[in-house]
Amino acid sequence: MGMAMEVMNEGLRNDFGFEHVAWFYSGRRGVHCWVCDDGARKLTNEARSAVATYFEVNLGSDKNKNFNLSSPLHPMLSRAYDILEPRFVESVLPEEGHGLLSTRASWTKLLMTLPKQANSVAAKLEEKWGSKRDTTTPEEKWDELKTAF
């Protein structure tokens, strides 16, 4: 939740110019953001909805695997990546975190989510990482995956 709050806080302040942003944790319903700027309070429901929609990222679904990110990334997505990637490396990749790249089962599952066009890259990484001689850390595996693309 903290990571999402940071991404949204940056967007609300930098992209929309809001200054008075307050975050509240309400328990079972999660985190809520109140923008207390006079201009924000005067927005129509449609304008408020547009601000909320600005932060949506539709990654498709299992039924729709034709999702493609455009290049270059939208500035909001680029900034979100810059904010989130270091935390991802710290919290999600290592065994002490979620262990996304710490075991063969976990990296195989990740590589299987890559688009079909990346099958050769996935196969090469699977072979390298699965080698008994491979001693790369989860962080190094992440760097290798990024470099491959």
Domain chopping of the chain, boundaries: 2-54, 92-148
Given the structure tokens 């449609």, which residue do they identify?
46
pLDDT for the residue 67? 59
CB atoms within 10 A of CB 33: 15
Judged by DSSP in three states, 24 sits in strand
Q: What's the pTM? A: 0.77
Q: What is the pLDDT along the chain (149 residues), one digit of tens a residue?
A: 899 999 999 999 999 999 999 999 988 889 999 999 999 999 999 999 999 999 998 776 655 455 566 778 889 999 999 999 999 999 999 888 899 999 999 999 999 989 888 999 999 999 999 999 999 999 999 999 999 98
